[in-house]
Chain A
Amino acid sequence: MYPLARCSAAPRVGGAFRFQVESSRAFPSRGKNSPRVVAVTTTHAWSAHLTLNLPHSFIPSSRPHTPACVGAGGDLDTSSKMAFESEAPQDDRIARIASTIRVIPDFPKPGIIFQDITTMLLDPKAFKDTIDLFVERYSGKGISVVAGIEARGFIFGPPIALAIGAKFVPLRKPGKLPGKVISEEYSLEYGTDIMEMHVGAVEAGERGIIIDDLIATGGTLSAAIKLLERVEAEVVECACVIELPELKGRERLGGKPLFVLIKSA
Protein backbone atom coordinates (compact mmCIF):
# COMPACT_ATOMS: atom_id res chain seq x y z
CA MET A 1 0.00 0.00 0.00
CA TYR A 2 2.84 2.39 0.66
CA PRO A 3 5.80 2.98 -1.59
CA LEU A 4 8.74 1.12 -0.10
CA ALA A 5 11.27 3.63 1.06
CA ARG A 6 14.99 3.39 1.44
CA CYS A 7 16.70 6.31 3.07
CA SER A 8 20.25 7.37 2.67
CA ALA A 9 21.05 10.39 4.73
CA ALA A 10 23.38 13.14 3.74
CA PRO A 11 22.91 15.38 6.70
CA ARG A 12 24.29 18.81 7.11
CA VAL A 13 24.59 20.72 10.32
CA GLY A 14 22.28 23.52 11.18
CA GLY A 15 18.71 23.20 10.02
CA ALA A 16 16.81 20.95 7.70
CA PHE A 17 18.73 18.34 5.81
CA ARG A 18 17.80 16.36 2.76
CA PHE A 19 17.70 12.65 2.27
CA GLN A 20 16.49 10.68 -0.64
CA VAL A 21 13.50 8.42 -0.42
CA GLU A 22 13.39 6.04 -3.32
CA SER A 23 10.08 4.44 -4.12
CA SER A 24 10.68 0.92 -5.30
CA ARG A 25 7.02 0.25 -5.87
CA ALA A 26 6.20 2.60 -8.68
CA PHE A 27 2.70 3.30 -9.77
CA PRO A 28 2.17 2.20 -13.33
CA SER A 29 1.65 5.64 -14.76
CA ARG A 30 4.72 7.00 -13.03
CA GLY A 31 7.09 5.16 -15.32
CA LYS A 32 10.53 4.26 -14.08
CA ASN A 33 11.51 4.86 -10.50
CA SER A 34 12.68 8.34 -9.80
CA PRO A 35 14.11 9.46 -6.51
CA ARG A 36 12.09 11.92 -4.58
CA VAL A 37 14.15 14.21 -2.45
CA VAL A 38 12.60 14.73 0.93
CA ALA A 39 13.90 17.16 3.48
CA VAL A 40 13.11 16.45 7.08
CA THR A 41 12.91 19.36 9.43
CA THR A 42 14.25 19.23 12.90
CA THR A 43 11.69 18.36 15.51
CA HIS A 44 13.42 20.41 18.13
CA ALA A 45 13.58 23.77 16.41
CA TRP A 46 12.19 25.42 19.50
CA SER A 47 11.21 28.97 18.77
CA ALA A 48 10.46 31.81 21.10
CA HIS A 49 7.25 32.72 19.30
CA LEU A 50 5.62 29.62 20.79
CA THR A 51 6.19 30.90 24.30
CA LEU A 52 3.67 32.99 26.11
CA ASN A 53 4.29 36.68 26.64
CA LEU A 54 7.47 36.95 24.65
CA PRO A 55 7.88 39.48 21.88
CA HIS A 56 7.17 38.14 18.47
CA SER A 57 10.68 38.79 17.14
CA PHE A 58 12.91 35.76 17.28
CA ILE A 59 15.02 35.27 20.37
CA PRO A 60 17.89 32.76 20.04
CA SER A 61 16.96 29.47 21.58
CA SER A 62 18.76 28.22 24.63
CA ARG A 63 18.80 24.78 23.04
CA PRO A 64 21.04 24.05 20.09
CA HIS A 65 19.27 23.64 16.76
CA THR A 66 20.07 20.18 15.55
CA PRO A 67 19.38 18.60 12.24
CA ALA A 68 16.96 15.73 12.15
CA CYS A 69 19.08 12.93 10.79
CA VAL A 70 18.15 9.44 9.86
CA GLY A 71 20.52 6.68 9.06
CA ALA A 72 24.25 6.70 9.01
CA GLY A 73 26.73 8.53 6.94
CA GLY A 74 27.54 12.10 6.22
CA ASP A 75 30.38 14.15 7.57
CA LEU A 76 29.07 15.07 10.96
CA ASP A 77 31.46 16.50 13.46
CA THR A 78 31.49 14.94 16.90
CA SER A 79 29.30 17.50 18.61
CA SER A 80 26.66 17.29 15.91
CA LYS A 81 26.78 13.54 15.93
CA MET A 82 26.19 13.48 19.66
CA ALA A 83 23.26 15.84 19.22
CA PHE A 84 22.04 13.65 16.39
CA GLU A 85 22.10 10.58 18.58
CA SER A 86 20.00 12.30 21.22
CA GLU A 87 17.53 13.30 18.52
CA ALA A 88 17.36 9.89 16.92
CA PRO A 89 14.10 8.67 18.47
CA GLN A 90 12.14 11.62 17.10
CA ASP A 91 13.98 11.48 13.79
CA ASP A 92 13.16 7.85 13.32
CA ARG A 93 9.54 8.73 13.71
CA ILE A 94 9.64 11.30 10.94
CA ALA A 95 11.41 9.04 8.48
CA ARG A 96 8.92 6.31 9.16
CA ILE A 97 6.01 8.70 8.77
CA ALA A 98 7.44 9.90 5.46
CA SER A 99 7.70 6.30 4.28
CA THR A 100 3.99 5.75 4.82
CA ILE A 101 2.87 8.65 2.65
CA ARG A 102 1.86 7.56 -0.82
CA VAL A 103 2.60 9.62 -3.91
CA ILE A 104 -0.03 9.58 -6.63
CA PRO A 105 0.99 11.09 -9.96
CA ASP A 106 -1.41 13.08 -12.11
CA PHE A 107 -4.01 13.65 -9.39
CA PRO A 108 -6.27 15.59 -9.33
CA LYS A 109 -5.03 16.52 -12.79
CA PRO A 110 -2.08 15.75 -15.08
CA GLY A 111 1.23 17.06 -13.85
CA ILE A 112 0.31 17.17 -10.18
CA ILE A 113 2.14 14.78 -7.86
CA PHE A 114 -0.36 14.20 -5.05
CA GLN A 115 0.88 13.50 -1.52
CA ASP A 116 -1.64 11.03 -0.12
CA ILE A 117 -1.68 10.93 3.68
CA THR A 118 -4.46 8.33 3.84
CA THR A 119 -1.87 5.57 3.73
CA MET A 120 -0.26 7.02 6.83
CA LEU A 121 -3.64 6.85 8.58
CA LEU A 122 -3.65 3.10 7.93
CA ASP A 123 -0.56 2.75 10.11
CA PRO A 124 -1.64 3.41 13.71
CA LYS A 125 1.90 3.94 14.93
CA ALA A 126 2.75 6.39 12.15
CA PHE A 127 -0.49 8.30 12.69
CA LYS A 128 0.09 8.42 16.44
CA ASP A 129 3.68 9.55 15.96
CA THR A 130 2.50 12.33 13.64
CA ILE A 131 0.09 13.63 16.25
CA ASP A 132 2.66 13.24 19.04
CA LEU A 133 5.19 15.35 17.14
CA PHE A 134 2.75 18.25 16.97
CA VAL A 135 1.54 17.74 20.54
CA GLU A 136 5.09 17.79 21.86
CA ARG A 137 5.65 21.09 20.08
CA TYR A 138 2.46 22.83 21.22
CA SER A 139 1.78 21.47 24.71
CA GLY A 140 2.22 23.97 27.47
CA LYS A 141 2.41 26.92 25.10
CA GLY A 142 -0.89 28.56 26.03
CA ILE A 143 -2.56 27.49 22.80
CA SER A 144 -6.32 27.54 23.33
CA VAL A 145 -7.45 27.15 19.71
CA VAL A 146 -6.62 24.53 17.10
CA ALA A 147 -8.22 25.52 13.79
CA GLY A 148 -8.39 22.80 11.14
CA ILE A 149 -8.98 23.32 7.44
CA GLU A 150 -11.64 21.17 5.79
CA ALA A 151 -11.36 18.31 5.23
CA ARG A 152 -7.95 16.73 5.90
CA GLY A 153 -7.22 19.30 8.59
CA PHE A 154 -10.18 17.74 10.43
CA ILE A 155 -8.22 14.50 10.70
CA PHE A 156 -5.13 15.98 12.36
CA GLY A 157 -6.55 18.97 14.24
CA PRO A 158 -8.92 17.29 16.73
CA PRO A 159 -6.42 14.77 18.14
CA ILE A 160 -3.94 17.61 18.65
CA ALA A 161 -6.59 19.80 20.24
CA LEU A 162 -7.69 17.02 22.59
CA ALA A 163 -4.14 16.29 23.66
CA ILE A 164 -3.20 19.91 24.42
CA GLY A 165 -6.57 20.83 25.96
CA ALA A 166 -7.55 23.33 23.27
CA LYS A 167 -10.82 23.77 21.47
CA PHE A 168 -11.14 22.64 17.89
CA VAL A 169 -12.51 25.08 15.34
CA PRO A 170 -13.39 23.78 11.87
CA LEU A 171 -12.71 26.11 8.94
CA ARG A 172 -15.11 25.10 6.21
CA LYS A 173 -16.20 25.58 2.63
CA PRO A 174 -19.12 27.97 2.18
CA GLY A 175 -22.57 26.98 3.30
CA LYS A 176 -21.47 24.13 5.57
CA LEU A 177 -21.41 25.87 8.94
CA PRO A 178 -24.83 26.70 10.38
CA GLY A 179 -25.50 29.99 12.10
CA LYS A 180 -23.45 33.14 11.84
CA VAL A 181 -20.12 32.92 10.06
CA ILE A 182 -17.36 35.17 8.80
CA SER A 183 -16.02 34.48 5.32
CA GLU A 184 -12.69 34.96 3.60
CA GLU A 185 -12.25 34.71 -0.13
CA TYR A 186 -8.99 33.36 -1.52
CA SER A 187 -7.47 32.67 -4.90
CA LEU A 188 -7.26 29.32 -6.60
CA GLU A 189 -5.22 28.56 -9.69
CA TYR A 190 -8.39 29.27 -11.66
CA GLY A 191 -10.92 31.40 -9.83
CA THR A 192 -11.55 31.85 -6.13
CA ASP A 193 -12.97 29.94 -3.19
CA ILE A 194 -14.32 30.90 0.21
CA MET A 195 -13.44 29.73 3.71
CA GLU A 196 -15.77 30.25 6.68
CA MET A 197 -15.49 30.25 10.46
CA HIS A 198 -18.19 30.50 13.08
CA VAL A 199 -18.72 33.86 14.72
CA GLY A 200 -17.84 33.49 18.39
CA ALA A 201 -15.79 30.33 18.00
CA VAL A 202 -12.56 32.19 18.63
CA GLU A 203 -12.24 35.13 20.99
CA ALA A 204 -9.97 38.13 20.79
CA GLY A 205 -6.63 37.50 22.40
CA GLU A 206 -6.71 33.73 22.09
CA ARG A 207 -3.56 32.00 20.86
CA GLY A 208 -4.20 29.58 18.04
CA ILE A 209 -2.54 27.24 15.58
CA ILE A 210 -3.86 26.31 12.16
CA ILE A 211 -3.59 22.73 10.93
CA ASP A 212 -3.75 21.23 7.47
CA ASP A 213 -2.26 18.09 5.97
CA LEU A 214 -0.20 19.94 3.37
CA ILE A 215 0.87 23.42 2.31
CA ALA A 216 1.29 24.05 -1.41
CA THR A 217 0.85 27.64 -2.58
CA GLY A 218 -0.28 28.80 0.85
CA GLY A 219 -3.57 30.30 -0.35
CA THR A 220 -5.75 28.23 1.96
CA LEU A 221 -3.59 28.78 5.02
CA SER A 222 -3.38 32.48 4.25
CA ALA A 223 -7.18 32.70 4.26
CA ALA A 224 -7.30 30.80 7.55
CA ILE A 225 -4.81 33.21 9.13
CA LYS A 226 -6.92 36.15 8.03
CA LEU A 227 -10.07 34.65 9.55
CA LEU A 228 -8.44 34.26 12.95
CA GLU A 229 -6.82 37.67 12.81
CA ARG A 230 -10.11 39.30 11.89
CA VAL A 231 -11.43 38.23 15.28
CA GLU A 232 -8.22 39.49 16.87
CA ALA A 233 -6.84 36.12 17.78
CA GLU A 234 -3.11 35.54 17.60
CA VAL A 235 -1.99 32.96 15.07
CA VAL A 236 1.05 31.49 16.80
CA GLU A 237 1.97 29.10 14.01
CA CYS A 238 0.70 27.16 11.03
CA ALA A 239 1.40 23.43 11.11
CA CYS A 240 1.28 20.88 8.31
CA VAL A 241 2.46 17.34 7.84
CA ILE A 242 3.92 18.10 4.41
CA GLU A 243 5.30 21.17 2.65
CA LEU A 244 5.92 21.56 -1.08
CA PRO A 245 8.74 24.12 -0.83
CA GLU A 246 8.97 24.83 -4.55
CA LEU A 247 5.53 26.39 -4.44
CA LYS A 248 6.75 28.91 -1.85
CA GLY A 249 3.62 28.77 0.26
CA ARG A 250 5.67 29.63 3.31
CA GLU A 251 6.25 33.11 1.88
CA ARG A 252 2.55 33.81 1.61
CA LEU A 253 1.68 33.49 5.27
CA GLY A 254 2.06 37.15 6.12
CA GLY A 255 5.15 36.45 8.15
CA LYS A 256 3.47 33.80 10.26
CA PRO A 257 5.72 30.88 11.18
CA LEU A 258 5.17 27.50 9.54
CA PHE A 259 6.12 24.16 11.06
CA VAL A 260 6.12 21.00 8.96
CA LEU A 261 7.32 17.46 9.49
CA ILE A 262 8.21 16.67 5.89
CA LYS A 263 9.29 18.71 2.90
CA SER A 264 8.69 17.11 -0.46
CA ALA A 265 10.18 18.11 -3.78
Chain B
Amino acid sequence: MSTCNGDDPRIHDIKTKIRVVPDFPKPGIMFQDITTLLLDPKAFKDTIDLFVERYKSKNISVVAGVEARGFIFGPPIALAIGAKFVPLRKPKKLPGKVISEEYVLEYGRDCLEMHVGAVEPGEHALVVDDLIATGGTLCAAMNLLDICSALFSSFTRVIFVSSEHRTCWCRSS
Protein backbone atom coordinates (compact mmCIF):
# COMPACT_ATOMS: atom_id res chain seq x y z
CA MET B 1 0.00 0.00 0.00
CA SER B 2 1.15 3.51 -0.66
CA THR B 3 -0.08 6.97 -0.01
CA CYS B 4 0.59 10.20 -1.77
CA ASN B 5 3.27 12.39 -0.25
CA GLY B 6 1.47 14.10 2.59
CA ASP B 7 3.96 16.94 2.45
CA ASP B 8 2.76 17.97 -0.97
CA PRO B 9 1.32 21.43 -0.30
CA ARG B 10 -1.49 20.82 -2.74
CA ILE B 11 -2.95 18.10 -0.56
CA HIS B 12 -3.47 20.38 2.39
CA ASP B 13 -5.46 22.80 0.28
CA ILE B 14 -7.51 19.98 -1.22
CA LYS B 15 -8.37 18.71 2.26
CA THR B 16 -9.65 22.10 3.34
CA LYS B 17 -12.03 22.23 0.38
CA ILE B 18 -13.91 19.07 1.24
CA ARG B 19 -17.03 19.72 3.26
CA VAL B 20 -18.30 17.40 5.95
CA VAL B 21 -22.07 17.14 6.18
CA PRO B 22 -23.32 15.38 9.31
CA ASP B 23 -26.21 12.93 9.31
CA PHE B 24 -26.29 12.44 5.54
CA PRO B 25 -27.69 10.32 3.96
CA LYS B 26 -28.89 9.12 7.32
CA PRO B 27 -28.27 9.88 11.02
CA GLY B 28 -24.81 9.04 12.26
CA ILE B 29 -23.07 9.28 8.89
CA MET B 30 -20.51 12.09 8.41
CA PHE B 31 -20.69 12.64 4.67
CA GLN B 32 -17.51 13.72 2.86
CA ASP B 33 -18.80 16.17 0.29
CA ILE B 34 -16.40 16.70 -2.61
CA THR B 35 -18.69 19.10 -4.47
CA THR B 36 -17.13 22.01 -2.59
CA LEU B 37 -13.75 20.92 -3.94
CA LEU B 38 -15.18 21.17 -7.46
CA LEU B 39 -16.09 24.81 -6.81
CA ASP B 40 -12.40 25.67 -6.49
CA PRO B 41 -10.83 25.35 -9.94
CA LYS B 42 -7.26 25.28 -8.61
CA ALA B 43 -7.99 22.65 -5.97
CA PHE B 44 -9.90 20.52 -8.49
CA LYS B 45 -7.05 20.81 -10.97
CA ASP B 46 -4.49 19.92 -8.29
CA THR B 47 -6.53 16.83 -7.39
CA ILE B 48 -6.48 15.63 -10.98
CA ASP B 49 -2.81 16.54 -11.39
CA LEU B 50 -1.83 14.43 -8.38
CA PHE B 51 -3.39 11.35 -9.95
CA VAL B 52 -2.07 12.10 -13.42
CA GLU B 53 1.47 12.52 -12.10
CA ARG B 54 1.19 9.11 -10.46
CA TYR B 55 -0.32 7.20 -13.39
CA LYS B 56 0.89 8.83 -16.58
CA SER B 57 3.90 6.56 -17.05
CA LYS B 58 2.28 3.35 -15.88
CA ASN B 59 0.98 2.08 -19.24
CA ILE B 60 -2.63 2.43 -18.16
CA SER B 61 -5.04 2.19 -21.06
CA VAL B 62 -8.33 2.09 -19.13
CA VAL B 63 -9.72 4.40 -16.49
CA ALA B 64 -12.96 3.00 -15.09
CA GLY B 65 -15.12 5.38 -13.09
CA VAL B 66 -17.85 4.36 -10.69
CA GLU B 67 -21.17 6.14 -11.13
CA ALA B 68 -21.70 8.95 -10.42
CA ARG B 69 -18.91 10.80 -8.64
CA GLY B 70 -16.31 8.61 -10.29
CA PHE B 71 -17.54 10.18 -13.54
CA ILE B 72 -16.27 13.54 -12.29
CA PHE B 73 -12.69 12.47 -11.52
CA GLY B 74 -12.16 9.62 -13.96
CA PRO B 75 -12.54 11.37 -17.33
CA PRO B 76 -10.05 14.19 -16.66
CA ILE B 77 -7.49 11.59 -15.54
CA ALA B 78 -8.21 9.43 -18.58
CA LEU B 79 -7.88 12.37 -20.95
CA ALA B 80 -4.59 13.48 -19.41
CA ILE B 81 -2.95 10.05 -19.55
CA GLY B 82 -4.39 9.10 -22.94
CA ALA B 83 -6.53 6.25 -21.66
CA LYS B 84 -10.09 5.35 -22.54
CA PHE B 85 -12.80 6.04 -19.98
CA VAL B 86 -15.19 3.25 -19.04
CA PRO B 87 -18.25 4.11 -16.95
CA LEU B 88 -19.32 1.54 -14.36
CA ARG B 89 -23.01 2.06 -13.84
CA LYS B 90 -26.05 1.11 -11.84
CA PRO B 91 -28.29 -1.49 -13.46
CA LYS B 92 -30.09 -0.76 -16.74
CA LYS B 93 -28.29 2.51 -17.47
CA LEU B 94 -25.87 1.13 -20.05
CA PRO B 95 -27.42 0.17 -23.39
CA GLY B 96 -26.42 -2.96 -25.24
CA LYS B 97 -24.61 -5.94 -23.79
CA VAL B 98 -23.27 -5.65 -20.27
CA ILE B 99 -21.68 -7.75 -17.58
CA SER B 100 -22.97 -7.33 -14.03
CA GLU B 101 -21.53 -7.73 -10.56
CA GLU B 102 -23.69 -7.79 -7.47
CA TYR B 103 -22.38 -6.44 -4.19
CA VAL B 104 -23.57 -6.10 -0.63
CA LEU B 105 -24.83 -2.88 0.91
CA GLU B 106 -25.39 -2.23 4.57
CA TYR B 107 -29.02 -3.14 3.94
CA GLY B 108 -29.59 -5.23 0.87
CA ARG B 109 -27.69 -5.50 -2.38
CA ASP B 110 -26.84 -3.43 -5.43
CA CYS B 111 -25.35 -4.12 -8.81
CA LEU B 112 -22.62 -2.58 -10.97
CA GLU B 113 -22.51 -3.01 -14.74
CA MET B 114 -19.91 -2.55 -17.47
CA HIS B 115 -20.16 -2.80 -21.22
CA VAL B 116 -19.07 -5.99 -22.91
CA GLY B 117 -16.07 -5.18 -25.06
CA ALA B 118 -15.13 -1.96 -23.28
CA VAL B 119 -12.06 -3.53 -21.69
CA GLU B 120 -9.90 -6.11 -23.41
CA PRO B 121 -7.83 -8.84 -21.79
CA GLY B 122 -4.41 -7.71 -20.75
CA GLU B 123 -5.22 -4.01 -20.52
CA HIS B 124 -3.89 -2.12 -17.52
CA ALA B 125 -6.85 -0.58 -15.70
CA LEU B 126 -7.32 2.07 -13.06
CA VAL B 127 -10.57 2.33 -11.07
CA VAL B 128 -11.63 5.75 -9.82
CA ASP B 129 -14.18 6.84 -7.27
CA ASP B 130 -14.41 9.84 -4.96
CA LEU B 131 -14.35 7.81 -1.75
CA ILE B 132 -13.87 4.36 -0.35
CA ALA B 133 -15.85 3.40 2.72
CA THR B 134 -16.49 -0.33 3.15
CA GLY B 135 -14.96 -1.15 -0.24
CA GLY B 136 -18.00 -3.00 -1.54
CA THR B 137 -18.42 -0.90 -4.67
CA LEU B 138 -14.75 -0.95 -5.55
CA CYS B 139 -14.58 -4.70 -5.05
CA ALA B 140 -17.45 -5.07 -7.47
CA ALA B 141 -15.59 -2.86 -9.93
CA MET B 142 -12.47 -4.94 -9.56
CA ASN B 143 -14.45 -8.11 -10.16
CA LEU B 144 -15.91 -6.69 -13.35
CA LEU B 145 -12.43 -5.95 -14.64
CA ASP B 146 -11.22 -9.38 -13.55
CA ILE B 147 -14.01 -10.89 -15.62
CA CYS B 148 -12.47 -9.13 -18.59
CA SER B 149 -9.03 -10.34 -17.50
CA ALA B 150 -7.75 -6.84 -17.27
CA LEU B 151 -4.52 -6.35 -15.39
CA PHE B 152 -5.76 -4.51 -12.43
CA SER B 153 -3.31 -1.72 -11.77
CA SER B 154 -4.69 0.35 -9.02
CA PHE B 155 -7.54 1.74 -7.13
CA THR B 156 -7.66 5.47 -6.92
CA ARG B 157 -9.73 7.39 -4.49
CA VAL B 158 -9.81 11.01 -3.56
CA ILE B 159 -10.62 10.31 0.06
CA PHE B 160 -9.90 7.52 2.45
CA VAL B 161 -12.41 7.79 5.23
CA SER B 162 -10.61 8.18 8.48
CA SER B 163 -11.57 9.74 11.74
CA GLU B 164 -8.18 11.39 12.13
CA HIS B 165 -7.47 12.84 8.75
CA ARG B 166 -8.31 12.87 5.11
CA THR B 167 -5.60 12.01 2.66
CA CYS B 168 -5.22 11.36 -0.97
CA TRP B 169 -4.90 7.59 -0.80
CA CYS B 170 -3.82 5.26 -3.52
CA ARG B 171 -3.28 1.54 -3.39
CA SER B 172 -1.58 -0.88 -5.68
CA SER B 173 -3.18 -4.27 -5.96
Contacts and interface: CB of A to CB of B under 8 A. Distances in A.
A102 B41 contact: no
Nearest to A197: B35
Given A1-B117, A167-B40, A162 B48 contact: yes
A177 B79 CA distance: 26
Interface string B61-96: 000000111011101101100111111010011111
A170 B38 contact: yes
Contact of B96 (A107, A123, A154): A107
A127 B80 CA distance: 11
A70 to B, nearest CB: 24
Interface residue SS majority, chain B: mixed
A116 B78 contact: no
A201 B40 CA distance: 10
A122 B114 CA distance: 13
Contact of B79 (A114, A128, A161): A128
Nearest to B115: A118
Contacts, number: 109
Given A118-B118, A123-B84, A161-B44, A170 B72 contact: yes
A201 B41 CA distance: 13
B75 A114 contact: no
Contact of A116 (B35, B40, B96): B96
B160 to A, nearest CB: 19
Given A121-B87, A124-B83, A179-B33, A162 B95 contact: no
Contact of B45 (A156, A162, A178): A162
A143 B71 CA distance: 22
A168 B40 CA distance: 8
Interface string A62-87: 00000000000000000000000000
Interface stretch (B18-26, B134-142, B163-171): B18-26
Contacts of B55: none
A195 interface: no
Given A116-B96, A168-B44, A122 B35 contact: no
